[in-house]
Structure 1
Amino acid sequence: MAQLNQDFLDSIAKDMPSHLSMDDFIQYSARPLRASIRINTLKISSVHFIELMEPKGWKLTPIPWCQDGFWIDLENKVQLGNTVEHLQGLFYIQEASSMLPPTALFSQLNEIDNLTILDMASAPGSKTTQMAALMDNSGLLIANEYSSSRVKVLHANIQRMGVSNCALTHFDARVFGEYLFERFDAILLDAPCSGEGTIRKDPSALNGWNIDEITKIAETQKALLESAFLALKPGGTLVYSTCALSRLENQQVCEYLKEKYPLAVEFESLASLFEHADKACTEEGFLHVWPQIYDSEGFFIAKIKKTASIERLKLEPKKQKNFPFSKAPHKIDAELRHYFKSTFDISLPTTSLIMMRDKEFWLFPKQMEQLIGLMRFQRIGIKLADELKHGYKAQHQAIQALSKQLSHHELSQAQAIEYLMGRDIPLDGSLKPQGEVIVSIHGSPLGLAKHLGKRLKNNLPRDLVRDKIVNSDASSS
């Protein structure tokens, strides 16, 4: 049962719109959240996913504000995170309201292929991977996370979902306005907040709530929002969001920015973002989602347009030296493209850069060229392959990101479970060995194996081996 701090209730009573009631808020806060997922269109279409999973007892109800988001009901309880389909990245377990900020950011964005976009506070990666899917892995997506432990989680989710257009950074996001001034076409700032809207997921979320702490959080949010605005190109779009409910962390933070840059800040109305969006829309055009409106988590979303350039107060920092990657020579570039095409029928995108570091080869988004030396990056793009004494060895993450909708060695559900548990797969009869192959299920890759004729030798990276996999067929649970 949710623990609703009385000081919190007294504080938000003045912020709640007159057409909503505190009784409804308290009632909905005591209800468990409806489970929801987002289908990963980098690997499978929503139509195909539904065709696969509905016969297994998965009932999927569309979420109005995300074309690939669904509330999910199962005939029998299944641990979604331990299913084959989750581990291969066909879907992300994501709260419905959390899907709103990327939807708002990408509505009316043009020329997706060439955009450079920043996600300022990315972990664990739900919105980052949603944006990568909306970009169809084109352009460049910078995903920043301040917490070092959460960077690892972010990278794992990006890899699982087959994201290839992303570069990771690990900074206090207040530096972006200085280091990458007016460099981004669009920015999402899903700001660190009090988490007031998460009470249905975390009943203890408000146990330590106090107004002094919220005031401190709001000051940090203002600094982050200003940094985002400085990093945004003139004409660019910025979405500011929180899972907080008070005006202090939401409307007042946005008003601070408008007061500081009155000639460059324009609020764009989200009243028509989706059907019935007006139920949560404020007079400024923001979405202030209270739990009782859509039976969801609480959330706040503001869409901001930068209508003019602003003065750069700090000098551009000195360029960083000793970037460890260099562009692969033409001969090696051609060899790698031939290796992937002849071995896996994968055509490496011509719009990306093949870079090398020692005997490693990486695929970078082309837009990275303009940012090299301006900031330190934790990880860029995807690792393609290692150089061997004779040839190359493809990497798991490259197969996950680049082999969508190709002809693979298709496994059964039982074989896929064995593969994800790190085991070799026996084959019927004695076949001619085929060497490196991609193994898949549902036409989407699981990883690499070596076809030895009588068995598939498992090449799944050891850190991805799981002890427990559950059958996604709810009716058999």
Structure 2
Amino acid sequence: MQLPQDFLAKMNKLLQSEYEAFARSYEEERAHGLRVNTLKTSVEQFLKVAPFGMRRIPWAEEGFYYGKEDRPGKHPYHEAGLYYIQEPSAMAVGELLDPQPGDTVLDLCAAPGGKSTHLAAKMKGAGLLIANEPHPARAKILSQNVERMGIRNAVVTNEMPDRLAARFPVFFDRILVDAPCSGEGMFRKDPDACAEWSLSHVNMCAARQDEILLQAAKMLKPGGRLVYSTCTFSPEENEGAISRFVESHPEFVIEDVRAYEGFDRGRADWVDDPVEKIGNTFRLWPHRLQGEGHYIAVLRKTDGQEQAKRTFAKPMGDRKALKDYFAFAEETLMDIPSGDFTVFGEQLYILPPGMLTLDQLKVVRPGWHIGTLKKNRFEPSHALALSLNGEQARKRWNLLRETAEIAAYLRGESLPATGPKGWHLVEVDGFPIGWGKLADGTLKNHFPKGLRWTNI
């Protein structure tokens, strides 16, 4: 790998005696990781059925290393959302934010969704998660991953931080700022980040991070936790960003939280005017652990006023428009999803409890996607299938992994079938993976066209 010379000179000056070990890490194979989705299965259950070898990641309870040859992204369990393929160091961020069930949580720069889906699993379906991504194309990928992981209590937005701050002042218990950065820690994983790097780009990123933190601060409740993370080594974007922020926001303090084995501490000597306790922040180095480069700071807001007046999202008032949905649910499901319904075009959603008004926000996914209200009929969504467990469906069609039938289903093919007519929840080894509609001896395939496998 051809690394930028300015980058190497900078790292040599910073690391000194450790530089040679750091440089050698770029000649080594990077570590690969996945995180078990505990919204769908337990770690213990997954280990019993795991189709490839795994080793635990020390700092992530649900995280495991896997071998490069295993290719878990090409397995039906991936489509069923049993795990998320995530860079091992990145899993430390969700662990340190540590949201609890019932919290209101914001992931401000969320695409592609690894950290958002980690936070959702920790929330166990209770509370409100807003996953935001300013770039429209990346916001769509984020929404797809929220869907695949079976998350019910998330809203996906496509906004700039200042627009969210105006809507959600002093609203969140926990905020994650996984800031856009110069990407130095991902050079081994992402050659494009290496090609885009320059000293001027580092400075531009640092200025942008200052603005993002400013807006995040407005949205956190007193007593709330904010975690700032980057995937870069640059002190300007790490200790420098946190020092500038805490200096201008004295109501924030750097928390002293557990350091995992292999984690390094923040370096006060690498920045001008470091704030007190900057050494309580974390650096993850590729030559010290099996993972890419990361920086993480855990902050607590100690003071501030609660926001009194809120305007909450309004559910639809005309329940008669949902008669086709309720007819489908009565016939197909053991437990009928209910709550505050809202309709975007023909699409039916259930709003997470406590969501503020959606008016004049760019919203990609306003909650739990239930399905499509078509003329005189209802068609269930892929998101509904992936958010269920098998016992919640009256009719189920189970396929086994590594068989011709599951491969055909993932290609979008219909399957020969006998049984009661109507919608069947299609499963792989008992885990929901989509819908099929049985009639006249055929299970018609409803696996989404955009997700179908074309190379099997």
Q: Same fold (TM over 0.5)?
A: yes
Distance 2:315 2:306 in 1: 34
Distance 2:166 2:422 in 1: 50
Partner of 1:394: 380
Greater RCO, CA 8 A, separation 6+: 1
Partner of 1:154: 142
SS at match of 1:327: coil
Partner of 1:425: 415
Which amino acid counterpart does residue 218 of structure 2 have in structure 1?
A: L
Partner of 1:7: 6
Percent identity over paired residues: 30
The answer to whether the 8 Å contact 1:43/1:404 transfers is no
Change (3 A) 1:359 1:192: closer
Partner of 2:90: 98
The correspondence of residues 349-360 of structure 1 with structure 2, limited to 5 A, is 352-357=339-344, 359-360=346-347
After superposition, the C-alpha distances for 1:186-210 in whole angstroms (9 at most, x for unaligned) are 1101000000001221346334533
Which residue of 411, 414, 430 corresponds with 1:443? 430
Structure 2 stretches lacking a partner, 5+ long: 268-277
Partner of 2:213: 225
Partner of 1:89: 81
Distance 2:9 2:83 in 1: 39
The correspondence of residues 226-305 of structure 1 with structure 2, limited to 5 A, is 226-262=214-250, 264-270=251-257, 272-274=258-260, 276=261, 279-280=264-265, 284-305=279-300
Instruction: State the Cα distance separating 1:212 from its structure 2 match.
Output: 2.4
Instruction: State the Cα distance separating 1:336 from its structure 2 match.
Output: 4.5
SS at match of 1:146: coil
Distance 2:14 2:242 in 1: 15
Q: Does 1:52 align with 2:49?
A: yes
Judge which range, 334-343 or 62-71, deviates more. Answer: 334-343
Structure 1 stretches lacking a partner, 5+ long: 470-477
After superposition, the C-alpha distances for 1:52-96 in whole angstroms (9 at most, x for unaligned) are 12xx4x11101111111100127xx34332221112211111100
Distance 2:306 2:152 in 1: 34
Task: Return the TM-score normalized by structure 2.
Answer: 0.88
Task: Return the TM-score normalized by structure 1.
Answer: 0.85
The answer to whether the 8 Å contact 1:344/1:438 transfers is no
The correspondence of residues 117-132 of structure 1 with structure 2, limited to 5 A, is 117-132=105-120
Change (3 A) 1:228 1:14: farther
Counting matched residue pairs gives 441
Which residue of 131, 138, 150 corresponds with 1:143? 131
Judge which range, 168-177 or 296-305, deviates more. Answer: 168-177
Distance 2:400 2:228 in 1: 44
After superposition, the C-alpha distances for 1:436-457 in whole angstroms (9 at most, x for unaligned) are 1101012211111112363312
After superposition, the C-alpha distances for 1:426-473 in whole angstroms (9 at most, x for unaligned) are 23xxx443311101012211111112363312122222222124xxxx
Distance 1:69 1:404 in 2: 25
Which amino acid counterpart does residue 346 of structure 1 have in structure 2?
A: D
The answer to whether the 8 Å contact 2:170/2:306 transfers is no
Change (3 A) 1:281 1:47: farther
The answer to whether the 8 Å contact 1:433/1:453 transfers is no
Distance 1:27 1:451 in 2: 57
Partner of 2:194: 206
The answer to whether the 8 Å contact 1:25/1:292 transfers is yes
Which residue of 73, 83, 95 corresponds with 2:67? 73
SS at match of 2:194: coil
Distance 1:347 1:451 in 2: 21
Which amino acid counterpart does residue 155 of structure 1 have in structure 2?
A: S
